[in-house]
Chain A
């Protein structure tokens, strides 16, 4: 017991560094995904037919190919083919970002389409340009509605980030595996790794729940104030 605890304590700073990398991967991926998701969703809802077709192809590709295959395809395939020097962490963030971007696009598209159509018309009727209406009226509401689904997406991407291990990115799993293979303390180290994932999941989801509460529109969901 003592030896096992010691192994974890000794490896802890090392594991923690892995957790920081995991957090960076996930934050970058979710950020990239947010930008892609919003732009693609707007294109899917308001764009011309040819653009919708193009964007659907993007969604199908990233939803249809496993992340592991995407990682190999991009990191060992595309990036080296194009002679692009990119470190493993960045490659993972990019691949996860494009993947979650596809899923987030679907989340935002659903949210936009669930809004009453009249609000866009009312914005237009006031002389707002389409861009202004989307930015000031549609997106603020669609993004609010999307927070619970987005929080789901965060926990999924966090767990998918463990796949970064296979291309040698120094995140939680890679660190745990490295130490475990040297100290032979597999059980405590992978438990510690699991705990770190859990803590990151919990931190992210509670932060998003706080955000959801903070931006809630008064009067909705039983919070009548009149």
Chain B
């Protein structure tokens, strides 16, 4: 077996219940290096829960998570910390550290987790901020940034840790329509550089152009999976096509841009 065929990240038959209610029901997802998979489906379907189970922010009840073929010990805090270093996460509502400026939002984990010196961490942080077009915003605090800028800092913060995989949970959903573009551009740029990504999104342009595979999730189960070229053919009757049609109608109704 060629080593490039071992998934960088594999979630296997992951199940999760909250107060007796089954939210994830045996979900499996694998990501090979450079692959981009997009999670879509109705709200409440379990997309966020799946993403958080994958980096163990939420511990799965059943199933396993493997990094480069090695199963993570879910009962060992240290191995969870190590998993999360390898798997970056972008949240819908940014979750920047409010008391730190853009630069230190990035340096803090480099220093506390990777034990990198302050100078080296700052150098790296500046580089990452430049990459997302915020080289001139290093000293600003989250409260002084727009939503789009906050999300770009969050992306820079995740990338500074050199993750093997990036998980994105509706990265543009909390943004005003005019700010979505700048974040999409950053994500496209990442895709161009070959970043491995698993992303929940309702952004049609990202779904149709970036996804190697679409995963349609409903009631805790992936009910449909396949390439956009297969699933998004107009009138093909797939759930994904229907869902994207409804999304674009909504988007058309909302803004004429």
Contact = CB atoms under 8 A, between A and B. Distances in A.
B87 to A, nearest CB: 8
A127 B144 contact: no
Nearest to B146: A226
Chain A, interface residues (CB within 8 Å), range: 20 to 34
Interface in B31-77: 55, 57, 77
Given A116-B95, A119-B97, A141-B99, A125 B143 contact: no
Interface string A139-150: 011001000000
Nearest to A124: B57
A54 interface: no
B243 interface: no
Given A118-B91, A226-B140, A128 B109 contact: yes
A118 B93 contact: yes
Nearest to A143: B99
B161 interface: yes
A206 interface: no
A219 B144 contact: yes
Contacts of A130: 77
Nearest to B84: A127
Contact of B97 (A123, A127, A129, A226): A123
A121 B91 contact: yes
A127 B98 contact: no
A113 interface: no
B158 interface: yes
B144 A126 contact: no
A48 interface: no
Contacts of A123: 97, 109
B96 interface: yes
A6 interface: no
Contacts of B88: 125-126
B158 to A, nearest CB: 7
B85 interface: yes
Nearest to A225: B144
A116 B99 CA distance: 12
Contact of B84 (A116, A118, A126, A218): A126
A137 interface: yes
Nearest to B90: A125
A132 B82 CA distance: 14
B109 A127 contact: yes
Which interface residue of A125, A140, A218, A224 has the most chain B CB atoms within 10 A?
Answer: A125
B143 A217 contact: yes
A137 B94 CA distance: 15
Given A141-B99, A217-B143, A121 B158 contact: no
B113 A144 contact: no
A219 B149 CA distance: 15
Interface of B: 55, 57, 77, 81-82, 84-85, 87-89, 91, 93-99, 101, 108-109, 112-113, 140-145, 154, 157-158, 161
Q: Which 8 A-B pairs have the closest CB atoms?
A: A219-B143, A127-B85, A122-B95, A118-B95, A126-B109, A125-B89, A219-B144, A127-B84
29 contacts: A118-B91, A118-B95, A119-B96, A121-B57, A122-B91, A122-B95, A122-B96, A122-B97, A123-B97, A123-B109, A125-B84, A125-B87, A125-B158, A126-B109, A127-B84, A130-B77, A132-B112, A136-B112, A137-B97, A140-B99, A217-B98, A218-B140, A218-B144, A220-B98, A224-B144, A225-B140, A225-B144, A226-B140, A226-B145
Given A116-B98, A126-B113, A126-B161, 12 more contacts: A118-B93, A121-B91, A126-B88, A126-B109, A127-B82, A127-B109, A130-B77, A136-B108, A137-B99, A141-B99, A217-B141, A220-B98
